[in-house]
Amino acid sequence: MRGAALSPRMRRALEGTPYAQYVYGYPHKTAYRALAPPRELAPLWAHEFESSALRRDALFLYVHVPFCEMRCGFCNLFTTVRPEGSLEARYLEALARQASVLRDALGDVSFARLAIGGGTPTWLDPAQLEALFAIVERTMGARPTSVPVSVETSPETATDDRLAVLEAHGVDRVSIGVQSFFEDEAKSMGRPQKRASVEAALDRIRARSFSTLNIDLIYGASAQTPARWVESLALALRYAPEELYLYPLYVRPMTGLAKTARQWDDERLALYRLGRDYLCANGYEQRSMRMFRRANSPQKPAPPYACQSDGMVGLGCGARSYTSALHYSEEWAVGGRSVREILDAYVARDERDFAFARYGVELSTDEQRRRAAILSLLSDEGLAPGVEASALEGLSTLRELGFVHALSDGRLALTAAGLERADAIGPALFSEAMAARMETFSLR
C-alpha cells in the first residue's frame, strides 16, 4: 500500500478487515477512566459556554433507559434484561434526582434536540413513560413539541398505549430495531421474534402521526442469503420509512454471538453493496455507511436528529455527555452482573453525588480537532477545505487509494469505496495515544 504518511497501525487497519470497528463517536467509551479528581459539573459547563462556540440555546438532551425484553446476540449496549422488583421505579427516581442537579448546573440553557434511547425506552409502561417525560419537560425544561425528538422502540414494546404517550408528547421520530423480517435469521442473531409481531408493530407506528420512521436492519446473519436480504429490504419499504440504518453483523466480546468467532468479510461486503444499490434505486439517499434517508422526507426544522456532537447532555446511567474538552458518563459494562452492579450504584446516588463527573476522558485541542474531522469525514457532511492538514495525517494516502475525494465545493468526502470501508478508515484515523488507551480497557 502506498503512502509513507501511514503509521504501522493505520496501515494494518486499511489492509485488514473492512469491519474493524463501528465509529459513531470519537473517542470510544473504552477510552474513559475514573477522573481524579472528579469534576464539578457547574463550573465545567460554565467554562464550556465561556470558552467555546457552543450555544446555550442549542444543546442536545439524551436520556438513557437501560432496560430490554431480551439481550440480542450481537448487542454490547449498556442494558439489563427484564428487571425484577422495583428497579424501573427506583431508576426513574434516580433520574429525577440527577435531572434536578444537572439542570441547576447547566444554568440558563435550552435544548434544540432530544433523544430517548437505551436499551429500549418503551420497555417502560405508559405510566412510567409519562413520568419520564415529566422529568424531561418539567425538570430539564425541554420542549418536545417544538424540537426534533427521537425515541427507540422494539416490536414487542411498540404497543398502542405506549405509542400514544410518545405521540402526545411530540415525538416525531420513532426508531425500531427490526434487524430481519425472517424468523430464522433473527434467531441466528440471538434475537427470537415473530414476523407477525414485527409487522403489527410497524402498522401501529404508521397509524400514528410520527413524521419519521427509522427501521434498523442487519446483514450478515448465518441464515441470510442475498435474495432474502433484498426481500427484507423490500418488506421494509412497504412501510415507506423515512430512514433506514443497515448494520453489518458484528461479533463483539462478551455478547451472545462471541463464541462463534465467525469471519465473513466478503459476504458482508457483498450484502452491503446489494443493500446500498437497492435503496439508492428506490428513492433513498446514502448519508453514511449505515444511514439512508428517503429523498424529500419531511422533517422538523434544523437541527435534525444526530448524536455524538459537542453539547450533548446525558441523563441516565448509560448516557454520555460531551463538552469540547471532557467526555463523561457512568461506567460501561456488557456482562449482566457488571451492568447490574453499575445500575445499583446509580439508583443509590444522592443529589450531592450527581453534581460531579467521575468517569470520562479529557481531550486535548489536537484531539478535539481530530474528533471533529473524523466525524465529519464519516458522514455526508464532509471535511471542510484546509481542515485535514492540521487534524488528520494519512488523508493524502486515502485520496491516492480512492477512498476520499474532493467535492465541487472543496470539501473532502468518502467515495463509494471509502464508504464501504468506513469501519476500517475510522479506526485508522484515531491518534496513536487514544488508540493505545482504548486497547488497554478492561471490559467487564
In the DSSP assignment, the letter for residue 386 is T
Same-domain pairing of 23 and 38: no
| Boundary-marking domain end, from 265, 294, 323 | 294
Cβ atoms of 27 and 278 closer than 8 Å: no
pLDDT tens per residue, range 85-139: 899 999 999 999 999 999 999 999 999 999 999 999 999 999 999 999 999 999 9
- Residue 111 inside a domain? The answer is yes
User: Which residues, at least 6 apart from 418, have a Cβ–Cβ distance to it below 8 Å?
Assistant: 398, 402, 403, 404, 425
Residue in the structure block whose three cell numbers are 446476540? 73
Provide the Cα torsion 369, 375, 379, 385; round to 10°.
10
Same-domain pairing of 372 and 423: yes
Chain centroid to CA 25: how far?
8
pLDDT above 90 (res 234): yes
Residue 14: domain span: 1-27+364-439
| Boundary-marking domain end, from 294, 316, 335 | 294
Same-domain pairing of 7 and 47: no
φ, ψ of residue 117 in degrees (nearest 5): -130, -165
Residue 48 CA to residue 43 CA, distance in Å, equals 8
- Residue 226 inside a domain? The answer is yes
Residue 120 CA to residue 141 CA, distance in Å, equals 23
Q: How far is CA 49 from CA 42, 53, 173, 266, in A?
A: 11, 7, 29, 47
Residue 79 CA to residue 84 CA, distance in Å, equals 14
The strand pair at 404-406 and 412-414 is best described as antiparallel
Gap between the terminal Cα atoms of the chain? 37
pLDDT tens per residue, range 43-96: 999 999 999 888 999 999 999 999 999 888 888 889 999 998 899 999 999 999
Domain count, the chain: 2
Cβ atoms of 68 and 119 closer than 8 Å: yes
Residue 145 CA to residue 77 CA, distance in Å, equals 28
Residue 392 CA to residue 113 CA, distance in Å, equals 29
* pLDDT level of residue 246 (50, 70, 90 thresholds): very high
- Residue 320 inside a domain? The answer is no
The model's pTM is 0.93
